[in-house]
């Protein structure tokens, strides 16, 4: 059976991989925000250049970066064409019945498309260089202040971890059940939408039953290993800022300042 | 005398998590589990039906460092007993002491679970984390052990079960036997005095079963950890130093494997098997071939056949 990959982590020995997940998570959000500040071609140019630098440092083949774009292709074309045709402007390039393409429109559409591409590739870099478990840990530590508001941060992170742990197990189970049902004549691939949806019922019911059974057994095993929620709990791996994390944060701030400066200029 | 032993433990019952690593010491005589008239009923939520009696009048004594196999057909109460041993279940009546701690007292729950670890049947449904070493760290993290010490315990535990090279793997990439060994490492990292294994090999292939049995034996022999093994495989029970047979919630036989398995007919009546060598020897004896009745392993069986053949030859010449 083929190895199931959770998320899209691409292991490589790079600086970006070794960065603290919190830096990467906050950095990605910061990067996305700056994209909206930078409203000029120069701004997008700097952002694209910065992103290219990060991609180079991450040692992940660039091809992987653009895979995420495929799923977003429709939205990309849709937004770009809306901007292309609907932006009013002075210089008319093409006029054909009700369609009017202006120079401003072309420029605007290009910027929007570029912004979306940078945004998607930027967040893909993060998921490619950070394991799901590191992300979960980062989210847990970043949300820690919210514990004071009685938000069950630890429990949410624990649920995410368990979900990640059981995705491959349940996928194997789906595979097994499907084969068992197919051996008894079930048909999952033909017929209309309703017929196909119906044919999933004999797949989903055993899956749910077994998921509940697993949950029950897992709860017992966790009980037996003294799990009692977030009471007096320690962690084996403590997230600690290394010099490179401070350096990365510094670079991000400088980058932000440059973008704001360029934005003001334009 | 029993009471005395318990009182003694009442005094030193504050568990010290690092005790195990210091090794040896005054062990051997001490009682780790002690139950008196233990009863347990599963409550039916359907009012018309009666409660099911799962344990009735169980009196057991298990000493530190023992390797006990618990046998019994399905529904004989062996898993229920196992769940009492680390306070997952509390007795309906009667008392169970774990190192002098009454399992019914909620204050004792966590010390007991730390001390008596439990490994379950399904290797998939007891691993929590997506990375092996994180899973092994889960127990000590729950106990509030300092980070640096958790690291050390995890490395030691993985080394003990010979899984160090898989520390960074993901559980779903491992075989069943490997997953069970990780589950055992997860318990070891908590620094237990005892490991209770509830049919740990039932879902494994023969090589996985062998791996797990080797690990269990090693823990008992080298680390002097008390092992309570619930199993359906008689070949595994033979390796224990003591066998307890349960039927209808009660302990019906208790002794060394050789004495227990020799009673082939009684075992059959209880719906249990005996090791294949013992069974074959029994059949041959009934047919008039004088093989000794307490053979347990294939080796012993072969030896006793050879002895017989030799005697036969000698008498002819």
**CB contact B176 to A (< 8 Å):** no
Do β-strands B31-42 and B61-63 pair in parallel, antiparallel, or remain unpaired? antiparallel
Q: What are phi and psi of B70, to 5 degrees?
A: -110, 125
Render pLDDT for A113-170 as a digit per residue (tens, 0 to 9). Answer: 999 899 988 988 888 888 887 888 898 889 888 888 888 888 988 998 898 888 888 9
Contacts of B151 in chain A (CB under 8 A): 236
CB contact A229 to B (< 8 Å): no
A162 inside 8 A of chain B by CB: yes
Percentage of chain A beyond pLDDT 70 is 97
Rounded to 10 degrees, the C-alpha dihedral B212/B216/B217/B223 comes to 140
pLDDT, residue A215, reads 94
Task: Write out the E strands in chain A.
Answer: 92-96, 99-102
Pick the closest to residue A61 from A11, A3, A116 (CA basis). A11
Quickly list H helices, chain B. 2-11, 78-85, 109-115, 132-143, 147-160, 176-188, 206-222, 234-237, 257-261, 264-269, 276-286, 298-316
Q: How far is A215 from chain B (nearest CA, A)?
A: 8
Contacts of A158 (CB under 8 A, 6+ apart): none
Instruction: Tell me which residue in B114, B134, B150 faces A234 most closely, judged by beta carbons.
Output: B150
Domain count, chain B: 1
The three-state (H, E, C) secondary structure of A243-256, written as one string: HHHHHHHHHHHHHH
pLDDT band at A238 (very low <50, low <70, confident <90, very high): confident
Q: Does B111 touch chain A (CB under 8 A)?
A: no
> Is residue B282 assigned to a domain?
yes
Q: How many CB pairs under 8 A join A and B?
A: 98
Minimum distance, in Å, between the CA of residue A224 and any CA atom of chain B: 6
CA–CA distance from B212 to each of A259, B161, B215 (Å)? 60, 9, 5
DSSP calls for A88-143 = --SSEEEEETTEEEEHHHHHHHHHHHHHHHHHHHHHHHHHHHS-HHHHHHHHHHHH
Determine the Cα–Cα distance for residues A161 and A135; give it in Å rounded to an integer.
10
Asked whether residue B118 is assigned to any structural domain, the reply reads no
> Based on the number of CB atoms within 10 Å of its own CB, is A54 exposed (0-12), middle (13-18) or buried (19 or more)?
buried
Q: Which residue of A has its CA nearest to B190?
A: A225
B170–A218 C-beta distance less than 8 A? no
Q: Could you read off the pLDDT of A84-100 as tens digits, one per residue?
A: 888 777 777 777 777 77
A172/B172 CB distance under 8 A: yes
Binned at pLDDT 50, 70 and 90, residue A220 comes out as very high
Structure confidence at residue A104 as a pLDDT band (50, 70, 90) = confident
Give the best residue of B86, B127, B140, B142 to mutate against chain A (max A CB count within 10 A). B142
Tell me whether A238 touches chain B (CB under 8 Å).
yes
Instruction: Pick A233's closest partner by Cβ from B118, B133, B144.
Output: B144
Average pLDDT over residues A207-227: 93
Sign of CA dihedral B152, B158, B159, B161: positive
Place of tokens 């949806």: A197
B119 strand-pairing partners: B197
Using pLDDT thresholds of 50, 70 and 90, give the confidence band for residue A201.
Answer: confident
Domain range for B302 is 275-317
pLDDT confidence of A221, banded at 50, 70, 90?
Answer: very high
In a domain, B288, yes or no: yes
- So what's the pLDDT on residue B296? 85
* Per-residue buried b or exposed e for A140-173, using 16+ beta carbons within 10 Å of the residue's own CB: bbeeeeeeeeeeebbeebbebbbebbbbbbeeeb
DSSP classification of residue B62: E
Residue A240 has what pLDDT? Answer: 82
The three-state secondary structure class of B271 is coil
The reported pLDDT for the residue numbered A64 is 80
User: Do A44 and A115 touch, CB atoms closer than 8 A?
Assistant: yes
* Residue A9 · residue A132 · CB < 8 Å: yes
Strands B67-71, B52-58: pairing kind: unpaired
Q: What is the mean pLDDT of each run of 10 residues along chain B (317 residues)?
A: 38 38 45 86 71 86 93 89 91 90 90 93 91 92 93 95 91 91 95 94 92 94 94 91 92 91 89 87 86 83 87 83
Contacts of A147 (CB under 8 A, 6+ apart): A153, A154, A230
Any B CB within 8 A of A233 CB = yes
Distance (Å) from the C-alpha of residue A259 to the closest C-alpha of chain B?
A: 39
ipTM above 0.90, yes or no: no
| pTM assigned to the model | 0.79
Q: How sure is the predictor about A7, in pLDDT bands with cuts at 50, 70 and 90? A: low
A28: left (phi over 0), alpha (psi -120 to 50) or beta: alpha
The answer to the question of residue B296 being in a domain is yes
User: Hey, are the CB atoms on B125 and A165 less than 8 Å from each other?
Assistant: no
């Amino acid at each position: 059976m083929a190895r199931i990959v959770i998320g899209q982590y691409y292991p490589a020995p790079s600086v970006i991989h070794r960065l603290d997940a919190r830096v990467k998570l906050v950095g990605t959000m910061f990067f996305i925000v700056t994209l909206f500040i930078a409203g000029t071609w120069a701004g997008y140019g700097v952002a694209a250049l910065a992103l290219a630098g990060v991609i180079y440092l991450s040692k992940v083949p660039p091809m992987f970066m653009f895979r995420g774009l495929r799923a977003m292709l429709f939205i990309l074309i849709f937004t770009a064409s809306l901007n292309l045709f609907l932006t009013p402007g002075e210089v008319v390039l093409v006029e054909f019945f009700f369609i009017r393409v202006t120079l401003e429109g072309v420029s605007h559409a290009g910027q929007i498309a570029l912004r979306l591409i940078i945004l998607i590739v930027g967040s893909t870099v993060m998921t490619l260089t950070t394991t799901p478990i590191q992300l979960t840990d980062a989210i847990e530590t970043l949300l820690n202040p919210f514990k004071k508001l009685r938000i069950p941060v630890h429990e949410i992170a624990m649920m995410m971890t368990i979900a990640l742990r059981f995705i491959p197990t349940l996928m194997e189970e789906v595979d097994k059940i499907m084969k068992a049902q197919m051996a008894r004549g079930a048909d999952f691939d033909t017929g209309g939408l309703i017929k196909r949806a119906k044919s999933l019922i004999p797949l989903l019911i055993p899956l749910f039953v077994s998921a509940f059974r697993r949950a029950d057994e897992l709860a017992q095993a966790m009980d037996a290993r003294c799990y009692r929620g977030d009471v007096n709990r320690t962690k084996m791996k403590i997230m600690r800022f290394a010099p490179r994390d401070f350096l990365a944060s510094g670079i991000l701030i400088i980058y932000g300042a440059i973008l704001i400066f360029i934005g003001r200029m334009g | 005398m029993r009471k005395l032993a318990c009182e003694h433990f009442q005094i030193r019952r504050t568990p010290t998590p690092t005790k195990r690593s210091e090794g040896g010491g005054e062990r051997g005589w001490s009682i780790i589990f002690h139950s008196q008239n233990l009863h347990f009923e599963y409550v039916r939520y359907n009012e018309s039906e009666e409660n099911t009696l799962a344990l009735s009048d169980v009196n057991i004594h298990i000493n530190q460092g023992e390797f006990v196999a618990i046998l019994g057909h399905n529904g004989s109460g062996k898993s229920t007993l196992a769940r009492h041993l680390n306070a997952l279940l509390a007795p309906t009546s009667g008392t169970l002491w774990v190192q002098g701690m009454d399992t019914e007292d909620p204050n004792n729950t966590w010390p007991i679970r730390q001390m008596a670890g439990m490994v379950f049947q399904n290797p998939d449904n007891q691993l929590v984390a997506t990375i092996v070493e994180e899973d092994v760290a889960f127990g000590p993290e729950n106990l509030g052990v300092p980070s640096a010490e958790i690291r050390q315990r995890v490395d030691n535990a993985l080394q003990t079960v010979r899984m160090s090279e898989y520390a960074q793997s993901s559980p779903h990439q491992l075989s069943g036997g490997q997953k069970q060994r990780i589950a055992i490492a997860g318990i070891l990292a908590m620094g237990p005095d005892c490991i209770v294994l509830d049919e740990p090999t039932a879902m494994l292939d023969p090589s996985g079963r062998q791996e797990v049995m080797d690990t269990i034996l090693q823990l008992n022999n080298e680390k002097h950890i008390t092992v309570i093994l619930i199993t359906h495989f008689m070949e595994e029970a033979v390796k224990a130093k003591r066998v307890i047979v349960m039927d209808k919630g009660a302990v019906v036989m208790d002794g060394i494997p050789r004495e227990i398995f020799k009673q082939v007919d009684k075992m059959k009546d209880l719906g249990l098997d005996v090791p294949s060598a013992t069974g074959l020897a029994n059949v041959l004896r009934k047919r008039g071939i004088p093989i000794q009745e307490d053979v347990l392993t294939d080796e012993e069986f072969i030896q006793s056949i050879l002895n017989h053949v030799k005697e036969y030859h000698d008498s002819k010449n």
